[in-house]
Structure 1
Amino acid sequence: MRLLILLASTTMLAACGGAGPQSAGSAAAPTGGGTGTGGGTGSGDTHTFVNPTEPKTYTAVGSTHSYRYQVVNPGSPGAGQGAQLYQGDAKTVRNSNLTVEFSPRDAIFNVSFSNGLAGTTGASRFQDPLHRTDFGGVIEPQVGTPDLESATFGLQGINYLESGSSNNVSRRPGGEFIFDLINTAEGGSYDVTTFFHQTPGTETQFVTFAGYLRNTAGVVQSEIDNPDGSTSTIVTQTNTFERGAIAYGEVTPNDGVPTTGTGSFEGTMLATMVFNDQPDTLGNTDTYFQWIAGRASTNVDFGANTFALSLDGTVGAPLFDGTSNQHTILENAQFRANGAGQIDLVAAGGFLGQFNEAWFVNPGGARLDVNIAGSSIDGSFYGPNGEELGGGYRIVGGTPDERIDILGTFVGRGN
């Protein structure tokens, strides 16, 4: 059972996951030197990304999206999602207001995922040591947070930070996110933000990846008059869910990026997804967020200024909410995508491209190809001489009467 510790009345988050001072061997301090778009600010003379010594602010590259809707009498037969508003946006290297700031002196994080085009407003300060959290034990991250160190995803060095507020909120058996319908006489509210990242030094030295989620909800009760003179109680729950995935670190100066030879970069991919292909076939418009995590392989030809990216991930469970629970992409489905593009340090500040194919394979072997209407890949090189890379991506489904959108990030270290 999950238990939320409420230490603030707003979504102000506390210092990073883990215990003790920030260092390469403890909870990550995702900060570093570097200049240019996507890099840190500050002198950077003695600073390192793995063992930070001074405050830094990073402009990240990645994607965010949000989904707002209402449910009447959630948990009751026939309950569905209405008044829906979905928004998503992938930021480029040169056009991003997604930021991560860290102060090693006080172990304080400031993160901002505010993006008007995506409908995301997450902007939080991690300052209370108790806001560090992890999976296992009585207190765990909120429902909808991916356990990236689980057997499903198999990643390492993940740190979680969380804070928020709630009133008259409970969860159904199995972890389903929903308000307690018994104690709603005075209404219920929920606003919790979680930020997570991989410790620099786990796989990469100059760049890392991170994700965030914000679950905001409110519930009200109202009485309606029936034709026979009686009254009925209607419970309306309004949910707004935000998700995002980013990469950030010490960006390579343009004159440090190789101009000849080739490189192979291996690392991690993370994505947040909505996938609903059922409205036109089953009449089901309920949409659920799912996380994807796995591996990313990027091959770069510096002489030709080209790159190719391959993603290989595993899909997590949906975030159910007391509606239909119908979904197409099952937990533990495999995700694959391939794309390519060009390096353009002057115009793009790194590299940019598109995907040519993406598909899922459900447990049992059924394959579902994504009809791609639009896609993007944007990234930078990291480290003094382009030893590593990182970026963001988006894949938008193009089949009519479907809501399919995959937004994520990837990092890699040169072999």
Structure 2
Amino acid sequence: MRLLILLASTTMLAACGGAGPQSAGSSAPPTGTGGTSGGTGSDTVHTFADPTEAKTYTAIGSSHSYQSTVDDPGGNGQQRTVRQTTQTGQIYQGDATTVRNSNLTIAYDPRDAIFNVSFTNGLAGTSGASRFQDPLHRTNFGGAVEPQFGTPDLASDMWGIPGVQYLESGSLSNVAQARPVAGGPDEFLFNLIDQTEAGTYDATTFFYQLPGTDTQYVTFAGYLRNTAAVSYDFDTALTTQVSTLERGAFAYGQITSNDAVPTSGTGTFDGTMLATMVFNDQPDVTGNLDTYMQWIAGSASTSVNFGANTFSLSLDGSVGAPMFDGTSGQQSVLEGAKFFANGGGDINLVSAGGFFGQFNEAWFVNPDNTRLDLVIAGSSINGAFYGPKAQEVGGGYRIVGGTPDERIDILGTFVGKQP
């Protein structure tokens, strides 16, 4: 079971202590652009891949949250042989930001190697805000201590994305670690240590690709926050867990000034895509209302015609395992499925600060080669150019499913550079 809990108190993010400075190109986190506006300041010393001063960026991307309640008959050491519960009290929210309206920020001070991130978005129901200043906040996969359940291992064989750094902090009270079901997958469910008292869990993980790994002026990042409030009813012998899951994927870096973006010619920018997804197409067919979050990662290709002020975007990703919680375990998009999407739009530096558009198609192909085409009710692509001469691109997107009685929402980010 993967879990990193650094704080003994029941208050989230109360850690103290600072990490020493690290050289650029090592495992030190990146820094940002000129000023809090997202990188249009006239900074001549700072560089994104080799930071020299504290910076705050505005991130472009998407985030969402999902809350549900599970009455677990297998809690507190009882043996559960069959799945007997469903998710109730469901609340789902999602939102995609633009270049101009994002209040999502990522700040870094190279002097003490401290990250401050804020992903609070009322439209998405997210409130993740963390200060990663303890050296032990840095973590990775492999060994006795790993990132918390639900964190994507982007260096795994499925995705093979290099240079991803992970930071995590959180707290728990009166709960044992999340437990696996015998013969089944790991689950985000907890046992109470003392059944007479309630328990809580709250942990935030922030991860990003180290600038300079693939791109120099922009990078992608993601975050997840898992919270749980757990109680036990002696009359019904049920452990009740109210879980709130937050996920997000963003791009940030040194935005190109408008007058440095080319006005003629074309360019192709190849790089990485990352997305977080909920996919439940079963309510109207089987009555199954359970929804599970999954990560998608892979490649992105952005083609730009600067003279015509147009762009196109193609995404090609692989889907990670669902994050189960002891309920039905039924899922249509399986681990290892392929994801594809194509879209495009316009460049408008004055009104949009970059480029914007929509998707015209998106689909999945499961490992058994069954294809699932999405009915798109709404979608968005929002991006910007990065680097002193628009050498790179980055942005966010969202695809909302349109079939009645389904919950399908894909929210993500992409980055790319010219060859």
Counterpart residue identity of residue 161, structure 1: L
- Which residue among 336, 339, 345 is the counterpart of 1:335? 339
State the distance in 2 between where 1:248 and 1:352 align: 16
State the distance in 2 between where 1:78 and 1:204 align: 48
- Match status 1:188 vs 2:199: yes
State the distance in 2 between where 1:320 and 1:129 align: 31
State the distance in 1 between where 2:8 and 2:50 align: 30
Does the residue aligned with 2:411 lie in a helix, a strand or coil? Answer: strand
Aligned match of 1:229: none
- Match status 1:2 vs 2:34: no
Q: How many residues are paired up? A: 404
- Match status 1:156 vs 2:147: no
State the distance in 2 between where 1:153 and 1:289 align: 17
Farther-moved stretch of structure 1 (267-276 vs 75-84): 75-84
Report 1:82-97 matches (<5 A).
82-97=88-103
TM-score, length of structure 1 as denominator length = 0.94
Aligned match of 1:177: 188
- Which residue among 89, 94, 115 is the counterpart of 1:109? 115
Equivalent pair of 1:13/1:124 in contact (CA under 8 Å): no
State the distance in 1 between where 2:223 and 2:372 align: 27
Deviations 1:358-401 (A, max 9, x none): 00000010000010000000010000010000000000000000
Farther-moved stretch of structure 1 (169-178 vs 200-209): 169-178
Identical positions, percent = 68
Does the residue aligned with 2:189 lie in a helix, a strand or coil? Answer: strand
- Which residue among 266, 270, 273 is the counterpart of 2:270? 266
Equivalent pair of 1:70/1:239 in contact (CA under 8 Å): yes
Change (3 A) 1:255 1:88: same
Aligned match of 2:373: 369
Does the residue aligned with 1:299 lie in a helix, a strand or coil? Answer: strand
Equivalent pair of 2:176/2:193 in contact (CA under 8 Å): no
Does the residue aligned with 2:267 lie in a helix, a strand or coil? Answer: strand
State the distance in 2 between where 1:205 and 1:399 align: 40
Aligned match of 1:73: 72
Farther-moved stretch of structure 1 (316-325 vs 183-192): 183-192
* Offset of residue 214 of structure 1: 0.2
Equivalent pair of 1:296/1:312 in contact (CA under 8 Å): yes
Change (3 A) 1:111 1:36: closer
* Offset of residue 23 of structure 1: 3.7
Equivalent pair of 1:113/1:122 in contact (CA under 8 Å): yes
* Offset of residue 14 of structure 1: 7.6
Aligned match of 1:52: 51
- Match status 1:98 vs 2:104: yes
Counterpart residue identity of residue 135, structure 2: P
* Offset of residue 86 of structure 1: 0.1
CA RMSD across the alignment:
1.8
- Match status 1:305 vs 2:309: yes
Counterpart residue identity of residue 191, structure 2: D
Equivalent pair of 2:7/2:15 in contact (CA under 8 Å): no
Equivalent pair of 1:46/1:53 in contact (CA under 8 Å): yes
Equivalent pair of 1:38/1:60 in contact (CA under 8 Å): yes
State the distance in 2 between where 1:245 and 1:195 align: 10
Change (3 A) 1:361 1:52: same
Farther-moved stretch of structure 1 (236-245 vs 71-80): 71-80
Change (3 A) 1:372 1:49: same
State the distance in 1 between where 2:137 and 2:29 align: 15
Farther-moved stretch of structure 1 (163-172 vs 374-383): 163-172
TM-score, length of structure 2 as denominator length = 0.93
Aligned match of 1:245: 249
Equivalent pair of 2:20/2:112 in contact (CA under 8 Å): no
Change (3 A) 1:57 1:103: same
- Which residue among 138, 141, 150 is the counterpart of 1:144? 150
Change (3 A) 1:14 1:153: farther
Equivalent pair of 1:169/1:180 in contact (CA under 8 Å): yes
State the distance in 1 between where 2:261 and 2:38 align: 15
- Which residue among 396, 408, 411 is the counterpart of 2:412? 408
State the distance in 2 between where 1:153 and 1:66 align: 24
State the distance in 2 between where 1:40 and 1:240 align: 36
Change (3 A) 1:296 1:28: farther
- Match status 1:385 vs 2:389: yes
State the distance in 1 between where 2:133 and 2:226 align: 20
Counterpart residue identity of residue 199, structure 1: L
Change (3 A) 1:36 1:137: closer
* Offset of residue 78 of structure 1: 2.0
* Offset of residue 177 of structure 1: 1.6
Equivalent pair of 1:14/1:131 in contact (CA under 8 Å): no
State the distance in 2 between where 1:113 and 1:184 align: 34
State the distance in 2 between where 1:72 and 1:201 align: 47
Equivalent pair of 1:32/1:40 in contact (CA under 8 Å): no
Report 1:205-354 matches (<5 A).
205-224=216-235, 232-354=236-358
Farther-moved stretch of structure 1 (2-11 vs 289-298): 2-11
State the distance in 1 between where 2:318 and 2:354 align: 28
Does the residue aligned with 2:244 lie in a helix, a strand or coil? Answer: strand
Does the residue aligned with 1:255 lie in a helix, a strand or coil? Answer: helix
State the distance in 1 between where 2:56 and 2:45 align: 16
